[in-house]
């Protein structure tokens, strides 16, 4: 391994940075988060006081129209951007307290990211795309390749590991992105409109794959969508309207709603 790559050690999140007064089972806790974007003289308030808790192992869908603040909320939870006000806790660690190195550790090891446009590296094979985050995390090439093949097999691409993104269908590319997100065994996977560029059937396959991974290895999944057909696997649905949580539905309340969509059965 090249000396330039600094492995991020497991113990980097220091115990004194953990909030002690609160229950440990929350994977994510968002407190009074406000995010404002200043554009010249105009201020856009993308998030207007978000409060939520997500428990470990939950499958959460965040649903809301375009512009309601889903991606902004993901950027806050994923430590990719900072709130204007409020706090985000990952495993009860206030991420605003982390230094640059600890934040890098969080992004590399604790959270897996999946995007609408897949964001794969086009000159790299599926396997290379999946092994890259493991190399960053300090795994050897051999370990990374072995694990990469394993995960690609789990997502149904065992026979496509040497293909480059453009030699794969949209659904297959998103499977590579899922494999990449899982490479370092994250506790949380954030998927921002993962089915947005896919047809309904392929989209449902991707959602069901995410659900299977959630059920099998307990990874907490938080996915944003504006497509109500993608909600059926959710434990809870957070409805975002104009930068605020409008309502939260639980699993037992969801079936009814889903059955009513466009008069069409979804399953």
Distance of closest approach, residue 190 Cβ to ligand ADP, in angstroms: 12
Contact with ligand ADP (CB under 6 A): which of 16, 66, 100, 256? 66
Q: Which helix (H) or strand (E) holds 115?
A: strand 111-115
Distance of closest approach, residue 156 Cβ to ligand ADP, in angstroms: 28
Task: Look at residues 173, 28, 142 and name the one whose alpha carbon lies nearest to residue 95.
Answer: 28
Distance of closest approach, residue 224 Cβ to ligand ADP, in angstroms: 6
Contact (Cβ atoms closer than 8 angstroms) between residue 46 and residue 35 = yes
User: Rounded to an integer, what distance in angstroms lies between the CA atom of residue 266 and that of residue 230?
Assistant: 9
User: Rounded to an integer, what distance in angstroms lies between the CA atom of residue 2 and that of residue 213?
Assistant: 32
Which CB sits closer to Mg ion, 176 or 191?
191
64 binds, among Mg ion, ligand ADP, none (CB under 5 to 8 A by kind): ligand ADP
Sheet (strand 42-55) strand order: 42-55, 26-39, 85-90, 93-94
Distance of closest approach, residue 220 Cβ to ligand ADP, in angstroms: 20
Contact with ligand ADP (CB under 6 A): which of 9, 44, 96, 215? 44
Query: What is the number of other CB atoms lying within 10 angstroms of the CB of residue 22?
Result: 12
46 binds, among Mg ion, ligand ADP, none (CB under 5 to 8 A by kind): ligand ADP
Residues belonging to the chain: 267
* Binding mask of the shown chain, residues 34 to 73, with x at each position contacting Mg ion by CB under 5 A: ------------------------------------xx--
Q: Is the dihedral of CA 61, 63, 66, 72 positive or negative?
A: negative
- Counting Cβ atoms within 10 Å, is residue 41 exposed (0-12), middle (13-18) or buried (19+)? exposed
Distance of closest approach, residue 188 Cβ to ligand ADP, in angstroms: 18
In degrees and rounded to multiples of 5, residue 95 shows phi and psi of -70, -15
- Region from 6-14, 21-29, 65-73, 251-259 binding ligand ADP, contact rule CB under 6 A: 65-73
Answer yes or no whether residue 75 interacts with Mg ion by CB under 5 A: no
39 binds, among ligand ADP, Mg ion, none (CB under 5 to 8 A by kind): ligand ADP
Contact with ligand ADP (CB under 6 A): which of 4, 10, 39, 40? 39
- Which residues are registered as beta bridge partners of 225? 63
Question: What residues line the site for Mg ion (CB under 5 A)?
Answer: 70-71
Question: What residues line the site for ligand ADP (CB under 6 A)?
Answer: 37, 39, 44, 46, 64, 66-72
């Amino acid at each position: 391994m090249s000396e330039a790559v600094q492995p991020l050690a497991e113990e980097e999140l220091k115990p004194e940075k953990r909030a002690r007064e609160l229950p440990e089972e929350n994977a994510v806790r968002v407190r009074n988060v406000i995010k404002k974007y200043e554009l010249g003289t105009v201020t856009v308030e993308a998030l207007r006081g978000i409060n939520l808790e997500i428990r470990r192992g939950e499958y959460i869908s965040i649903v809301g129209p375009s512009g309601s603040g889903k991606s902004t909320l993901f950027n806050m939870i994923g430590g990719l951007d900072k709130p204007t006000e409020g706090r985000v806790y990952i495993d009860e660690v206030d991420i605003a307290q982390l230094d640059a190195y600890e934040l890098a550790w969080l992004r590399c090891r604790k959270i897996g990211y999946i995007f609408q446009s897949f964001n794969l590296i086009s000159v790299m094979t599926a396997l290379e795309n999946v092994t890259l985050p493991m190399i960053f995390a300090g795994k050897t090439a051999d370990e990374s390749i072995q694990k990469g093949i394993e995960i690609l097999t789990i997502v149904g691409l065992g026979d496509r590991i040497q293909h480059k993104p453009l030699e794969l269908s949209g659904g297959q590319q998103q499977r590579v992105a899922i494999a990449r997100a899982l490479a370092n065994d994250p506790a949380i996977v954030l998927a921002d409109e993962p089915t947005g560029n896919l047809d309904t059937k392929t989209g449902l396959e991707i959602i069901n794959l995410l659900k299977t991974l959630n059920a099998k290895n307990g990874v907490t999944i938080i996915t944003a969508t504006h497509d109500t057909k993608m909600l059926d696997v959710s434990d809870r649905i957070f409805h975002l309207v104009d930068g605020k949580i409008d309502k939260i539905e639980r699993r037992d309340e969801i079936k009814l709603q889903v059955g009513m969509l466009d008069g069409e059965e979804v399953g």
